[in-house]
Amino acid sequence: MDLDHISESNESWTHADSEKSYQSQLAPLTKEKFYEFLKKKIPPVRKKAIFEEIRKGITFKIDEFPDDSRVSSCFEKVYTKWQTSTRQAKKNWTEEETTLLIAIVTLYCAANEDDFTSLVRL
């Protein structure tokens, strides 16, 4: 009997189990915080200006900033997928994931009067 194999299997189950538990506790808070963030009053002109700047530097085709309904829809799809996924790596993002990221960056920068190019420092 290979005790090392049993021990490794037990450790990975425990880690996966605790990760799912953590995720289930975090999920409602994540959703609540997202919708609080989405409710922030941001002038449409400010959102549009930042979105246009972001759009210049990306290859993803998105013609206009998504309205709150579209952002919510993208969030719900990504959120549901996150809750049911088994954390497998992937190469490409879905349209919903990309749209949600662009929307979050735009809204964050507009709400905080921040330059999106300063969000990541190399």
Name residue 22's amino acid. Answer: Y
> What is the rounded radius of gyration, in angstroms, for the C-alpha atoms of the chain?
19
What is the pTM for the complete model shown? 0.74
Q: Do 70 and 76 form a contact (C-beta atoms < 8 A)?
A: no
Question: Taking the domains of the chain in order of start, what are their residue ranges?
Answer: 27-118
Distant-in-sequence, close-in-space partners of 51: CB < 8 Å, separation ≥ 6 = 64, 65, 102, 106
Residue by residue, pLDDT tens for the chain (122 residues) are 444 444 444 455 455 556 566 667 777 888 999 999 999 999 999 999 999 999 998 888 888 999 999 999 999 999 988 888 766 667 788 899 999 999 999 999 999 988 888 887 65
Nearest-angstrom CA–CA distance, 41 and 111: 8
